[in-house]
Structure formats: C-alpha cells, structure tokens
Amino acid sequence: MLGTTLAGRYELVAEVARGAMGDVYEARDHELGVRVAVKVLRAEYLADDSMRRRFRREGAVLKALDHPAIVRLIELEVNPEGMVFLVTEYVEGSTLAERIAKGPLCLEEADRLTVALSDGLESAHRHGVLHGDLKPANVLWPAAGSEPPRLVDFSASKILGLDRLTATGEVSGTPAYMAPEVITGKTAVDRRIDVYGLGVLLYEALSAVPPFEDAHVGRLIMKIDAVDCLPLDAVADVPAGISDVVARAMHRDRDRRYEDMAALKAAWQRARGR
C-alpha cells in the first residue's frame, strides 16, 4: 500500500509495524503538512463484521481517552471502497521492544516508563477501559527523553462491566503477557489484569528477558498459571525493593496484587526513595 493516499489526504510512505488486525504506516498528512501514523485493517478482515467492529471500537476507545501517555487519535475513517483505518499522532522514536533489544533499561528510564504508563492506565481505568495487551511492542519509546512513552493498540481492550471472559469465551491478547485469570477465563476481568501486565512489562524492560518463555503455547500457559518465575533481582541488576514491587504486581492471585495503578506507582516511588 506504500504510495497510496487515503481519504485524499494521508499518503502512506513507510510501513512501521504489523499487528494481528492491521498494519501501521508512517504517512504524510497533506492537509496539515505533518507526519501521522495510519493503522489499516487488513484486507482479509474487511468482510468480517466482528473484526470491523473490534477495529472501530479501538478508534472509539482512543477518542474517549485523552492522556499524554496514550497515543492521540486524529481520525477514524471508512473510505468509499470500504477500507477502515485509524489515524493517530506520529511519535518519533521506536517501540519499547526495539529499545529493550539494545539492552535492559536503567532505573532512570524505568522511572520514566512506570510513571507514564501507570498514569495513562489509571486514566483509562477511570474511563472504564482496560488495555488488555500490555507488552513492549505496544509501547512507543520517544526519541526525545522529555516526552512520555505512549500506549498504543487498544484492539484487545475491554470495557469494565460489559466484557466478561469465560472458559468458552474469546480471549484476545498475547499469551506471554496475559494475567492468569485471563488465560483461565474463570472470572470477570478487572483493572488488575493491567496491573499484572505492567508488572510483566517492567520485568522484561529491566532484565531484557520475559518472565515466562516457552515455544509451546500450552506449556507457556501452564507456567503462567502455576509456576513462579525467577525474581527480577536474580536476573537483573536492580534493588530488592524494585524486585518486590514487580513481583507483587505479577502475583498469580490477583487479590495479592496492587489494587490499582496508583498503588503500584506509589510502591515503585517508595522503592526508589521518592
């Protein structure tokens, strides 16, 4: 699709990411003369009403959320040919996954990450939205250190009070980063699935390795549901207090996790002596 101009305005100039539902492009907005990001629903899903609804709901969620740590929606568009796409702000930099590939974050970088994402997720939760797929690939890491990291890809988001996952229901997200209660589907989800997700993300950001790995998805799920991972301070050069914060956020028993993002952020800052 490179070179295509959507809505007579957005010229796709480079592919920057491929997701489960759509591909993301850097684009030129010829109307405003700025760079934007355009996420296009894949052609194979255009005739799938459920996928179109899910894609459009992501746009509706982003429109409802307004926070510096959440990527800003510019437009949700359905063009005359039936193509569906989202236009968001373009963030100069990389994904957190690309940053981690260069080595673990230092504690100062982890501070930047924790404060931004916990505040952004707390805001989303106040609006009744759970992200549901926190992982390094879904965090933008701006080149400018003065800018906060941004959460992207709310395609697996859940609306509190409306979405209930059951053992026979659809589970969306990435298994290695899912909370045990999401994988088992035995209870209604709440904000603590994102507390868990942020804990996993911090573990990987500070160690450059995920807490749970297995090429076989079934075994991976069993590990997440029944096995304790190595403590963070056993695989990374971090203080014991930080390791304890991450461990509590990732606890298999959600009643023993932090109750919300504000509590996780406060514990992190205490561990950092702030």
Token pair of 150 as six digits:
């941004």
CA 42 to CA 44: how far, in whole Å? 6
Going along the chain from its start, the domains and CATH numbers come out as: 5-89 (3.30.200.20), 93-271 (1.10.510.10)
Instruction: List the one residue out of 226, 222, 217, 220 whose CA is nearest residue 252.
Output: 226
pLDDT for 97 equals 97
pLDDT in tens, 192-251: 999 999 999 999 999 999 999 888 888 888 889 888 899 999 999 999 999 999 999 999
Q: Please identify which residue in the block is written with the tokens 């992982």.
A: 135
Residue 101 has φ and ψ, to the nearest 5°, of: -60, -20
pLDDT for 163 equals 54
Helix (H) or strand (E) holding 77: strand 73-78
Of residues 23, 48, 66, 133, which has the active-site annotation? 133
133 counts as catalytic: yes
Instruction: List the one residue out of 137, 132, 147 whose CA is nearest residue 89.
Output: 147
Q: Could you tell me how many helices (H) and strands (E) the chain has, helices first?
A: 9, 11
* In contact, 183 and 168? CB cutoff 8 Å: no
Q: Which residues of the chain have pLDDT under 70?
A: 79-81, 161-172
CA 22 to CA 88: how far, in whole Å? 14
Q: How far apart are the first and last CA of the chain?
A: 48
Task: Give the global pTM.
Answer: 0.91
pLDDT for 168 equals 37
CA 182 to CA 123: how far, in whole Å? 22
